[in-house]
Each structure stands twice: as structure tokens, then as C-alpha cells.
Amino acid sequence: MCGIVGWMNYEENLSYQTKIIDLMNKQHAERGPDSEGTWIGKHVALGHRRLSVMDPENGLQPMVKQFGNQQMVVTYNGELYNMAELRTELETLGYRFTTQCDTELLPAAYQEWGVDAPKRMNGIFAFAIWDELKQELYIARDRIGVKPLFYAHVKDTFVFGSEIKSLLQHPDIRPVIDEQGLAEVLMMGPARTPGEGVFRDIKELKPGHWLKISRQGIQIHPYWQLVSRPHEDDFETTITKVTELFESSVRRQLISDVPIGTMLSGGLDSSAISAVAAKVFREEDRGPLTTFSIDYQDNDQFFEQNEFQPNADSPWAQLMAEFLQSDHHVVYLNNQELIDYIPRALIARDFPGMADIDSSLMLFSREIKKDLTVCLSGECADEVFGGYPWFHREEMVQADIFPWARLTHERIPFIRKDVQNKIQPKEYVEMRYQQALEEVPRCDQDTPKEERMKELFYMNLTRWMPTLLDRKDRMSMAYGLEVRVPFCDHHLVEYVWNIPWEMKAHNGREKGLLRHALKGILPDEIIERKKSPYPKTHHPLYLQTMQKKVKELLLDKQAPIWDFLDHRVVQRFVRQDLQQKHLPWFGQLMNVPALLAYWLQFNQWLVHFQVQWR
């Protein structure tokens, strides 16, 4: 994986303005530690930082390709899993290639199929192509949104980049937030509305979309979206197809010219990926699969069950490692380092995030990177197959709000009254919820129950899942680790989308269909294990430290956070005898320590990015 940036202005000669594009490109140094490059024309400048995965000796970018009198320049972040098939198809059409990397295929595909080129691609990607002859810039993003891409258009300036911090290096792009951006951070965070970049002038290119800018203006169009249709396969056929699609996805994603392995928690999803990967490794005589799991200092002493985390991962990961005979590594995190890395995680993510959940993944990625360059992860099976409690509890199913945000209203009292009046927090969340409902692809033959379940799945796939994918990308790429997500294969997502809820919840279990499909692939104990999410620390030191840090922040009445949060309300709250399990939760799966850490990150974000409130 890599980092990409670009700057375009039809009214200005950029030929000698190297400093700005270099500054933008520098922000992605961690994403691309292996090489860097820029290409500058009269009206466009492109930058690239490379993490070499395929054909490390070649594939330097930005890459220039000539087709007759037509010159195209590409900067690309991603991986095409159907590279071999796409290459063969293009060669049949007369194109010739000089490297073994997938970058070279992109300008040829664009030359041949134009704006529809991404429809031919199976992979995770964000790329830009400059057509020198037509003086047009084309950018596109993968269907599910695994790879990030943001842009801003201010007057005559158009900029884009893998991360928002790169855009903010351009003098025309300022870190200004308005009412909408503040509502995103205070009420939707750490999730984010698709297409929103929080800062006033910054937008996200939505997953499955392309953008083209020419002298006639900007066009933005979807090239992929979910389609609802009747599911005609019986249960056994459905199981067969799900198994085939899943195994095909894992096989495709094991292509690499650098060391590759898997994250293994001992849960259903990562175990399934690891099992198929280990099988492929045996078939191809690639040696034992390398697997990694994570645990916390003194977790055996302090772990406490809750509805979202019913059991610890460690024994299950060990069981699977022995079953696979993998080269297994356990990464133990100490709580002080976990806390110390929270500010780094914020900077990597560009927004307040999941605090210790982010910093732990960053540290986990740091350790994995010592042995691997590419890692497969079980992310997104819950969104695709229905693994969360809110899919299975009737009161959550019927709640007229994002299911993970049912308790977000508990945050409102902490917001200053004057700020509440400006951002209308409750109404903002309701408005975003209604927007999501309006987007849901409908099928006339669906029952009311099926229709409601599709609404929940759509919100999870388009609102919650991007939060997890963004987190995974930022925390792993902070150490130059490429993470692939087989459950996000668009063929699998498309097929499972239309499977009726009764099949998905086979035997009344979360991910019941997937569990049944994995029989014979996984040990029965793993198949029957109750879902447990990515682990977090239960050590009392974490809550104590967060409470102490917020108390210290309360002493600094000039801290920018107090322009937005009510100092007295926060003070009363922090002085309580806070408990790890304190309820109610505060939306987005935030318990007390997570909320305290989010406030700390919010203040750090305001300071680090010099955020200006309009």
C-alpha cells in the first residue's frame, strides 16, 4: 500500500512549485516507507509514497505511460487481486507491459474503458490518472472503501490525498470546522457520515465512486452500488456459494512478493481466514502460515465479561494456532504504552477515534511489521453476515436510530448550551439516520421484517463498517503494514446482501449462515464460540489514568475543548466514583474510559490541527 497526493489548478502554472506538493507528499511517509516520487506538469502536480508489495524493483510512481500521442500519469494506492486476469485481457487488446506490478495496468485500463475502468477491477484501491492530452484528472476509489481518499475544491484549487493531513499542507485549505463538522465529531464520532471530511472544505470520495475534473467542471458518479433482488437459491446452494466466494476471496488476497500472514484472534472470522490461508500455504509449499494475536498485560487478572466482549481471546487463538500448526506470535501490550500511543493514533487518524482501541492496533501493527509486510484480517464479517447484538435483539432492531448510536444522546449534556443551539445535536443524528434510510436499495418482494433487516445491514455496511476500515488502514499504515480484508470482497458482499435474514441467522445464531458454511474448515469449538470483538484493556490503570488526565485538563480553563464542552458538567462527572462498567454507554460503544479518552483526543485534535471554529 501507499500514499497518494495531487494538486491541480487550471489558472496557475505549477511547473516550478515543488515545495507544496513535496510537503503534501511528506505527510504520507509512514504509508510509503520504501520510495517517494513526484510528477509536475503545467497545471497538475502528483505525489506518491510507496510501500512495495508487488514487483518491488519496479513500479516507481507517479508512473508515466504513453499511448500514441496520449500521455497518462498515474499515482496509485492499493492492490488488484485480479491483476493476472486483467493483464491478460489488456494484452489481448494489444497493450504491452514492462513490469509485473499492477500500477501499470491502471492507465491502460482507463485508456481502454474510460470512467468504467474500476468496474473491471477486483481489489482495494484509490488512484488518480492525469490525461495530459485532454487535460483531465480522474480519481476513483474501491467499492467498499477499504482505501481512503479525500479531496477539496476551493476557488481554482483542487487537491486530493490519502489522508486529510496531506490536504492541510496546501495554503488554500484551512482547518476550519462549521456546525456540521462539529456535529460529526461530537455526535457521530468516531464514526463519520460517508462523503464528509469534517473540515469545511474537505470531502471524502465515497466508496464505489469516481470523480473527473476538467475545464468544464467536476463530475462525481457511482460505478457500483448494492442492488436488492429476490434470493432464489435454497439453503444448501447458498452455503456452497458462500463457501466458494469466501475461499476465492482469501486465495486471491494471498498474492504478494513480500512476507504475508494473518491476524488471528481465535474468533470465527479471523480463524476462517487463517484456515483457508494455511491450506493455500500447504498446497503451494509456502511453509507454515505466520499468525499474530494480541493480549494485554495482566488481562488474565482484570478481564471482565460484558455483552459485547463475553470472553477473552487468548485461549481461543492458541487453540487455532495449534490446529493450523502456524508460526504463531502473541503480542503483549503494557498499559502505559497503550496510553502513550493514544496521541499518535489521533494524528494517524486525523480525527478523534477509538482511543485505546486505536493505539492498541497501532502497537499491534508495529510488532507485526517486524515479520510481515502484508496481513489478512477478519474485519467486516459482522457487518456482512449480521454478527452484532443489534441484529438480534428486537428492541435494537426496532429502535429508530443508528443501532450503535442509541445512547448517543447521553453525550448531549456535556456540550455547552450555546454550542447545542448551533449544532442541534439530537436533530443532526436523526437527520443523518433518515438520509441513510432513504439510500437503502429496496425490493418489492421483501416482507416488512426483511426490509427492516436490510435497513440495518445497509447502515452497518455504509456507516459503521467504514469506521472500522478507516481505523484499520490508518493504524496499520502508520507502520507500513498493508492489511487486506477478504470479507469485503464485493462479490461476497453482493451475494450475501440478498440472502434472507432467516438464512443469515441460521439456528438463531449470530452469523449462523457463516458458521454453517465453515463446518469442516474450523474446529467445532471455534464455530460455536460466541462472538467477541477486537479486545480492549480491562486494567484499572487505564480508567484511572484517563480520569486523572481529564482532571488535569479541567485545570486548564484556556484549553480549546472548553469552547465546546461544559466545564462544570464535565467536572461533576469526573469527580464521581467512575467504574469501568458504568452505564449508560455514550453511543458508538463508548463506555466511561472510552468517553474520557475521546474528550482528551478531541482537545488534542483542536490543538494539533489548529482547528478553527467558524
Tell whether 294 is in a known binding site. yes
List phi, psi (to 5°) of 337.
Answer: -65, -35
- Output DSSP code: residue 415: B
Task: Tell whether residue 415 is among the known ligand binding residues.
Answer: no
Instruction: Work out the end-to-end distance of the chain between its first and last CA atoms, rounded to an integer number of angstroms.
Output: 36
Residue 377 is assigned to a ligand binding site: yes
User: Active site residue: 2, 101, 375, 380, which one?
Assistant: 2
Q: Three-state secondary structure along 420-450?
A: HHHHCHHHHHHHHHHHHHHHCCCCCCCCHHH
User: Which CB contacts under 8 angstroms, 24+ apart, belong to 548-554?
Assistant: 549/596, 549/600, 550/574, 550/596, 550/599, 550/600, 553/599, 553/600, 553/603
CB neighbours of residue 28 within 10 Å: 26
Residue among 458, 307, 468 nearest 386 (CA): 458
The answer to whether residues 351 and 185 touch, using CB atoms and an 8 Å cutoff, is yes
- In this structure, what C-alpha cell is assigned to residue 420? 447545542
What is the chain's percent helix, strand, coil content, to nearest 5?
A: 45, 20, 35
149 by Cβ neighbours in 10 Å (0-12 / 13-18 / 19+) ranks as buried
Q: Measuring CA to CA, which residue among 512, 140, 572, 164 is closest to residue 346?
A: 164
Task: Let me know: does 383 contact 207? Beta carbons within 8 Å.
Answer: no
Query: Is 378 a known ligand-binding residue?
Result: yes
| Cα dihedral 358, 360, 366, 370 sign | negative
CA–CA distances in Å: residue 126 to residues 251, 347, 524: 22, 21, 39
Three-state secondary-structure class, residue 202: strand
CA angle 353, 359, 363 (to 5 degrees): 150
- Is 380 among the catalytic positions? no
Q: Beta strands 63-67 and 44-50: pairing type? A: unpaired
Q: What does the block give as the cell for 165?
A: 493531513
Q: Which residues contact 466 (CB under 8 A, 6 or more apart)?
A: 145, 191, 192, 194, 207
Say if residues 237 and 245 touch (Cβ distance below 8 Å). no
**Residue whose cell numbers read 477478504:** 486
Check if the beta carbon of residue 483 is closer than 8 Å to that of residue 262: no
Mapping DSSP onto H, E and C, the string for 279-304 reads: HHHHHCCCCCCEEEEEEECCHHHHCC
Q: Which residues, 6 or more positions from 380, have their beta carbon under 8 angstroms from its beta carbon?
A: 144, 465, 468, 469, 485, 487, 488
Angstrom distance (rounded) from CA 536 to CA 71: 50
Matching residue, cell 482495494 = 124
**Three-state SS for 522?**
strand
> Residue 104: what residue type?
E
Rounded to whole angstroms, how far apart are CA atoms 464 and 407?
15
- Which amino acids are annotated catalytic? 2
> Binding site: what residues are annotated?
102, 294, 377-378
> Binding site for ATP: what residues are annotated?
294, 377-378
